[in-house]
Structure 1
Amino acid sequence: MDKFVEKTLSTEQIYSGKIVHLQVDKVMLPDGKIATRELIKHPGAVAVIAINDDNKLILVEQYRKPCERTLVEIPAGKLEQGEDPKQAAVRELEEETGYVAKELKYITSFYSSPGFADELLHIYFTDKLVKSDDPREADEDEFVEVLELSLQEAKQYAAIQKICDAKTNYAVLYLEMQEMMQR
């Protein structure tokens, strides 16, 4: 048994939305004391590190209301109920960029913000892309612009915080490591 486990004593559902659910748990700590935990429950998400034939990283620029600013990110989106992450990655890539992945390789999964949320983000890679003649439509409330950047340009975007989210910084680091391994 994990010596750090916090035993849930009670759960109060605060909010149930379209994407997230907020709950407050009362827990017993390993030392027997009682504490409160505010938790966001999330269905999980996918993201794709996509490289085109010109060796450019496919990104999307969009406004992110929680940050009150525009960010440049790798294509990503949330999982639908019971959806296979790989299929979701294919769907999100096409919806956001108009590209279809002929191959998709699983890279890793990580928790985006485990201090308060259970969102598990699955990362995929492809360098086998084809532009769709009839791409899936983006979500009606989603407005994005597709960018294509070299690794060096993406690193510069990260340095000036145009790229500043975890999944996209991970993508830049992943590509940099792949480049180093090929030397």
Structure 2
Amino acid sequence: MEFEERPISSKTVFHGHLIDVEVQQVITPHGNKTQREIVHHAPAIAILALTADNKMILEKQWRAPIAKTTLEIPAGKLDQRDADNALHAAKRELNEETRYEATSLKKISSFYTSVGCMDEYMTLYLATGLKRVSNELPQDQDEQLMLKEVTLPQALEMIDQGEIEDAKTIMAIYYWQGMNNRG
């Protein structure tokens, strides 16, 4: 069975600081003409950062698209400072957002964040052996973060209670739970 659609036209309808939006006219494998709206986003990273006393670092921050604060793991997009290197971006974001560096930064997984409308590709890392940085990188001017450390049982309860609703954070917590189950 054929699945690939054939674009017949494409137009960028918005070019912004964070995203671009493209509208495509396509022909489906069955010959139907339809429209696709695609959000283009830079590759991104996220970090499950675990402290020496086995707590994860969460960030409380305002998220305009949902008009409320969220609790999330540290994350950010790759930019010109990273030269398409996700590991470099993870180290940089960990410093900028938490003021920690990790003696071990291990790739957990890479995934698309919302395949129905967006091409953002995120790499999730596990950061352990955290220590305070000696050289603090400048924080993004548009971010206001408050850090919080929680245990695994607390994090799982926060998911159950709807306090953590961010997909990458939930994925990281379930990975952490699996790590503990595997030993």
Q: TM-score, normalised by structure 1?
A: 0.95
**Cα-to-partner distance string for 1:30-50 (whole Å, 9 max, x where unaligned):** 101111001000111100011
Q: Which residue of 1 aligns with 2:29?
A: 30
Please say if 1:167 is aligned against 2:172: no
**Cα-to-partner distance string for 1:53-111 (whole Å, 9 max, x where unaligned):** 01000111101010111100000001114430000011111111111112210111111
SS in structure 1 of the partner of residue 155 of structure 2: helix
Give the letter for the 1:28 counterpart: I
SS in structure 1 of the partner of residue 66 of structure 2: coil
Structure 2 runs not aligned, ≥5 long: none
Shift of 1:131: 1.2
Structure 2 distance, partners of 1:59, 1:75, is: 7
Superposition misfits of 4+ residues, deviation over 6 angstroms: none
Q: Which residue of 2 aligns with 1:71?
A: 70
Greater shift in the superposed pair: 144-153 or 78-87? 78-87
Structure 1 distance, partners of 2:158, 2:91, is: 25
Query: RMSD of the TM alignment (CA)?
Result: 1.1
SS in structure 1 of the partner of residue 65 of structure 2: coil
Aligned length: 181
Give the letter for the 2:106 counterpart: K
Q: Which residue of 2 aligns with 1:50?
A: 49
Q: TM-score, normalised by structure 2?
A: 0.95
Question: Structure 2 matches for 1:1-183, cutoff 5 A?
Answer: 3-81=2-80, 82-182=83-183
Give the letter for the 1:143 counterpart: Q
Structure 1 distance, partners of 2:62, 2:109, is: 26
